[in-house]
Amino acid sequence: MVIMATADLHGDLPKVPRCDLLLIAGDICPLMNHAPGYQRQWLNYKLRRWINRGYAKQVVAVAGNHDRVFALGEPPQDMPWTYLEGEETTVGGLRIWGGPWTPPIHDHWVFQADEEQARAHWERIPDGLDILISHGPPYGILDEDETGEHQGDKALRDEILRARPKLVVFGHIHTAQAIVQRDGITYANVSLLDNDYRRSKRHPVQLPAPTTPIAGSRRPGPSPNAAASAGAR
């Protein structure tokens, strides 16, 4: 099974190599207008048309803190994807669970959960998953911002270590795009845009099928310039 993944599109809809499964880890909607009504129309026309190009046989997505329509409005109900908000789905025999929550940054954003609220969400991650998809990273793993500070979610880290999914896929911290392995779990930060909200040379990332962990660690593309600018989330 060929698995591709991306996150933090912020309206940028890239070409994707043919695959069986495309995972989208949130912050999908354009930067130019965060009104829920605009996002609804954009999803309904632009994103739907992109998915219907048929790059992937199946698409599984979670929202991110920018995707306000999913929390505040009425997202299109019949999109050609599986949208997860604290739910599980199965694709090709792989068990996948996803959720959008990240630590609070700014009043404008959605799906922000403090540590106690986050724990209540992440406690529901089932044991025995193949893939966990979240918008943000767990604390301490591929979560360093442009100043080197950890921005990840402590409750998510704890519940990952409890539930032990084989593969964890996320974005949100644009400076930390990479794939690493820790204690038998593969973690992938698949941010598409860099810290200036530009695509630079990044692309959707092919991930190892959860049954065959990769050796060591590698970066999926050119190293992002950590010294870039103010924090893209």
- Reference 81, options 99, 61, 54; nearest CA is 61
What is the closest distance, in whole angstroms, from the C-beta atom of residue 232 to Mn ion in the complex? 8
Rank residues 19 and 156 by Cβ distance to Mn ion and give the closer one.
156
Q: What type of residue is 126?
A: P
65 binding Mn ion? (CB under 5 A) = yes
174 binding Mn ion? (CB under 5 A) = no
Among 27, 146, 153, 159, binds Mn ion (CB under 5 A): 27
What is the closest distance, in whole angstroms, from the C-beta atom of residue 27 to Mn ion in the complex? 4
Q: Using the rule CB under 5 A, give the single segment among 41-49, 58-66, 159-167, 206-214 that binds Mn ion.
A: 58-66
103 binding Mn ion? (CB under 5 A) = no
Q: Using the rule CB under 5 A, give the single segment among 43-51, 171-179, 214-222, 224-232 that binds Mn ion.
A: 171-179
| Residue 130 to residue 159: CA distance in whole angstroms | 15
Dihedral of the alpha carbons of 226, 144, 113, 27, in degrees to the nearest 10: 40
**List of long-range contacts for 35-40, beta carbons under 8 Å, 24+ apart:** 35/68, 36/68, 36/69, 36/72, 36/73, 36/74, 37/69, 37/73, 39/67, 39/68, 39/69, 39/73, 39/75, 40/69, 40/73, 40/74, 40/75, 40/76
What is the closest distance, in whole angstroms, from the C-beta atom of residue 163 to Mn ion in the complex? 23
User: Which tokens sit at 112?
Assistant: 């922000």
Bridge partners of residue 25, in order along the sequence: 62
- Reference 144, options 109, 199, 191; nearest CA is 191
Rank residues 63 and 185 by Cβ distance to Mn ion and give the closer one.
63
What is the closest distance, in whole angstroms, from the C-beta atom of residue 209 to Mn ion in the complex? 26
Among 172, 174, 190, 209, binds Mn ion (CB under 5 A): 172
What is the closest distance, in whole angstroms, from the C-beta atom of residue 166 to Mn ion in the complex? 24
Q: Using the rule CB under 5 A, give the single segment among 25-33, 37-45, 51-59, 85-93 that binds Mn ion.
A: 25-33
The packing angle between helices 115-122 and 154-163, to 10°, is: 20
Rank residues 97 and 109 by Cβ distance to Mn ion and give the closer one.
109
Map tokens 């724990």 to a residue.
Answer: 119
What is the closest distance, in whole angstroms, from the C-beta atom of residue 137 to Mn ion in the complex? 10
- For binding to Mn ion (CB under 5 A), which residues are involved? 27, 64-65, 172, 233
